Amino acid sequence: MNILFTNITVNSPLDNINSQLNLWVKDGTIYQISPNTINPDSDTEIIDGKDLTALPGLFDMHVHFRDPGFEQKEDIFSGVDSAANGGFTGVLIMPNTKPCIDNKTVVEYIRSKSQNLITDVYVASALTQSMEGKTISNMLEMTEHGALLFTDDGKCVVNSEVMRRAFDYAAPKDLLIAQHCEDNALTDNFDMNESNLSVQLGLKGYPSVAEEAILARDIMLSHYCGNRRYHAQHVSTAGSVQIIRQAKEKNPNISCETTPHHFSLTEDHLVEFNTNYKMNPPLRQQKDIDAIIEGLKDGTIDAIACDHAPHTQLEKDVEFDKAPYGIIGLETSFGLSYTNLVAKGYLSLNDLIFKMSINPRKILGLPEIHIKSNNPANLTIVNTNVEWIVNTDNFKSKSRNTPFEAMKLKGKVCWTINNNQITKSSL
């Protein structure tokens, strides 16, 4: 499918472009981009782009596609459909599958299954064998087969000696290690953030120090081992933001991400006992949201990643303490980020592009996306002015576990273009 977007705003910070242009996508490439009139061939659909903005394709560096092992929740194909529906042309999938991604066979299975799809699927491999936190996985071999990052996400590598060995093992190839920061001794069987509210509700709390203690330890180990590359996943507390801010002054190889739900929702929603508000790390307090937004503004937080975590309705529709952690997020990520960050004046759209497209690829060592003639068309087309209501009937994910149903958002994904494929969003 070939499309000419007339009078579309093209916003590409890496190309110093933020202007209204005519953009012709043909045969998977940016065939022509110009302020002048373009006369397309008869095989090209013409779309009035006066209300649209073309961005370098969005990238989410923290998603769970549940394949292999839990395909009833999500699989590679439904995950990609969900990602493309939300505007993402690239994703990094986490290793807590069954079997987990801790060997080259599973890496190759995923890479083979995800070929030639509209969304590029990259692999994060387990940091330890079977994600047990005991023995380092064969990171060098998995790197040779395409793994970009190593983490036991969903679990924390609590043992300091194991974490130190991981940094040493990663050093020769400068591999990227990431961590789900959670001291499990402080959080065992938690339900929500530890606070006065958790006491009132009678729910087991997760104290903020459980995240911050592991984060601080890992940063110290990274520095001790030679300022190794380290990425903190789904940062959720004010203390974590401050720890990372200070760490970056000494170690430029520290990076981190946060999620849309951690700057959009507080623990106050837990009074409803709705299991779609149960996640790991849990929703925190307004002071944490304020700190996260400040961290996004000043560059402490590098990326926004939704931690897309599908679960079936049967799993979530149980007593609160028995429900699994996690929510889906690919199809609401841009809308939540634009609504709560750009529309409120905290970030510019340029800033958001860095957090949701440029920085994730940079952290993972992937090629930059440029919007210029003869380049591959890797684009997310959005309407930043339109308001829309979240309706899970329009989602492509197999799962529906979101707390954002019926929420009004501003900023909507309209088209996703990549790998010579074009999809119109159903949101």
**Positions marked catalytic:** 307
Handedness of CA 226, 229, 234, 240 (dihedral sign): positive
Cβ atoms of 22 and 335 within 8 Å: the answer is no
Residue 280, CA atoms < 13 Å, CB-side half-sphere: 20
Q: Both tokens of residue 242?
A: 């401050």
Q: Both tokens of residue 355?
A: 């957090």
